[in-house]
Amino acid sequence: MDTQIAADTVNADRPDDVRDALGRPLHDLRISLLDRCNFRCPYCMPETEFHADFQFLRKNQLLSHGEILKIASVAVSLGVTKLRLTGGEPLLDKQVGGLIESLAALKGVHDLALTTNGMLLGPKATALAEAGLNRVTISLDSLDAEIFRLMSGNRGNLDQVLEGIAAAERAGLAPIKINTVVQRGVNDHTVIDLLEHFRGTGHIVRLIEYMDVGNRNGWKMDQVVPSLELLGRVQEHWPLRAIGRSYPGEVARRYEYVDGAGEIGFISSVTEPFCGACSRARLSADGVLYTCLFATSGTNLREPLRNGADDAELADILSRIWLQRADRYSELRTPGVADGHAPSKVEMYRIGG
Ligand code: SF4
């Protein structure tokens, strides 16, 4: 892996890159390692649905690391330069270090990242970095212990997550991004404290508009705090300066504190959709490829893989999927118009955010 490659090179277009129906290249593959999680965040895995008897994927239904590596290497041959490991909670996979080593060895991968809730990160950070992981993104919705506990489904330990962040920093897994889903009336009143905590640390907080992912979180538009409103609230405390996106397809709108205390970002899928440059595909833990976070269907890659498909056949399948891709859900979203007939969307816990 070419670690010193600049951000704009990470997503540099190659002439043979496969492009979708809207001309977007495939640059970013998100790989879900498993569908299990040690949290029960209400907007993703509500406890009521994902209770003790819930049937998660069995081992033989999960892609093996060898199968993940094969799909990833084919995807890289089609233009992917950025791989992100997700879940469920990817650090529940005890062999993740070995997979990271193999993925890091793939020529053409310029950025290997992992998204985690941070609970298991503390004791693993150094080994992940040594295996070749570049950086981590931690999902952390509040520093208010009570709100944090509620938003993790009574499963999270805030101190353990903060220790995970510190361990990642010591291990050099930087820049560390902190993803905070902001829900009106739930945690929006604790955002300023969270920003205050990370100012001057070099960690980048990204404030994410609450989204209608999956089918189980009871999403309503009035629970969304538009980024523009949030930006106004932050500016009341600290002047900010816009600094533009670091590469095409970057989801966050980036700002820096005028006083030099670092960077924050706003991910505004609801009020400022960014489908136009979306270069992301998502692979579920059981081998289904989705071309949008809000997809209603995907393509099973596990079957052809287990039926002996070689790299060329897999490349053909992936190219055909991507060439036909025309997803732009966020641009077409009709907030508030509850359509009881809408086909069900893939659940976020199956593909990661
Ligand atoms: S809604 Fe779908 S197409 Fe649009 S940015 Fe998100 S993942 Fe990409």
CA distances from 271 to 96, 204, 227 (A): 36, 21, 7
pLDDT at 244: 83
Pocket of ligand 1 contains residue 294 by CB under 6 Å: yes
pTM: 0.93
Number of neighbours of residue 237 by Cβ within 10 angstroms: 12
| Nearest atom in ligand 1 to 274's CA | 5
Q: What is the pLDDT of residues 176-187, one digit of tens each?
A: 999 999 999 999
| Nearest atom in ligand 1 to 295's CA | 2
132 Cα–ligand 1 center, Å: 28
CA-nearest of 76, 125, 124, 123 to 104 is 76
Domains of the chain in sequence order: 3-351 (3.20.20.70)
d(CA 20, CA 22): 5
Contact between 114 and 90 (Cβ < 8 Å): yes
In DSSP terms, 207 is beta-bridged to: 180, 266
d(CA 322, CA 213): 22
| Nearest atom in ligand 1 to 330's CA | 1
Pocket of ligand 1 contains residue 278 by CB under 6 Å: yes
Q: Quick one: pLDDT band at residue 114, thresholds 50, 70, 90?
A: very high
CA-nearest of 314, 292, 260 to 63 is 314
Burial class (CB in 10 A: 0-12, 13-18, 19+), 247: middle
Q: Quick one: pLDDT band at residue 236, thresholds 50, 70, 90?
A: very high
